[in-house]
Amino acid sequence: MTNLNRRGLLRTAAAATGLAATGAAGLTSPAQAAPRDWRAGAATFRWFGTAGWRIDIGARTVLVDPYLSRYWTGLFDGGLVLSTPLTVATATVDANVGRPETILVTHSHWDHFNDVPHIASTTGARVLGTMTTYQLGLASGIPSGQLGPVKGGEVLDFGDYTVEVAGSLHSRNVGYSIGIPGVRLSPPPKPATVGDLPEGDTLSYLLNVRNGPSVFFMGASDFVARNVDGMRPDIAMVAMASATTTHEYVPRLLEALGKPPVVVPVHWDNFEKPLENPPPVAPADRERLDAMISSIRRVAPRTRIVLPDYLKPYTFA
């Protein structure tokens, strides 16, 4: 067995108040108004934990990094066991993903890609991601016609929504490195273990919903400022860093994004625990969670910080 210290991978945690659940009060107030109006109910958001989301736009569904299987790998017990077999909790996945037409994958680590082949094979969903995601998808049995490799810079029109792709970066650990690095430029053998799914480059996405919000999604706690500068999303789903090796990560990101009215921290939960509310936070991540809250409040005091519950439907008024 090969072990990695859990600080060697993206660890995230985050913060705090203000998202309105379906049927509850609106998210913004006059003092914290979004830069543009959108129709209430244009999109509904459900958090899967980690960086995973389900977005329902009318009868159409988009997924981002859908990971629901949540099995033990040793990551939260002091060391990642790379030989851990990949496992899909099919009943849980099938009960929660709906009938997606598009799946956006930020990078290919197991906690982002693990469930994608099963979802794609059972729903016929289109999968967008890096060339590594493309090759791992082929190796996992996803037909090439359902796989779309993207690099960053693409603006894809799906009618009721558009997706802008930005080249991004994975978070750096305390050793200034990346957990499970590597890329795949040709189809490998079918991945069988956690160690068979390398990072494979990282992307972020800006989802623009027609008559709805503009939402920024990231799956790891680093970014290329020039690639996101000027995006100005209404809502930003922001991963929290596990280390301070990336200089001024939160301040630089919020400045580049124009200090979004709403920030939803992601990838802060212990995703090896059951999918039950309230979402669990590993004890070692509490300090990082508090630090992220403080940083957002200092840099963007008018930004509302939102900590979602698992699977609860949220709308933006």
- Single pTM value for the model: 0.89
Structural domains in the chain, CATH included, are 3-315 (3.60.15.10)
Which of 25-34, 73-82, 194-203, 277-286 is the least confident region?
Answer: 25-34
Q: What is the pLDDT of residues 5-33, one digit of tens each?
A: 333 333 333 333 333 443 332 333 223 33
Single out the residue of 69, 71, 74, 67 nearest to residue 8, CA to CA: 74
Place of tokens 């009618």: 159
Mean pLDDT to the nearest integer, 195-214? 96
What integer pLDDT is reported at residue 140 of this predicted model? 98
Task: Write out the two tokens for 262.
Answer: 């709403």
CB 64 within 8 A of CB 119: no
Single out the residue of 207, 220, 205, 203 nearest to residue 133, CA to CA: 203
Q: What is the pLDDT of residues 47-90, one digit of tens each?
A: 999 999 999 999 999 999 999 999 999 999 989 999 999 999 99
CB 74 within 8 A of CB 81: yes
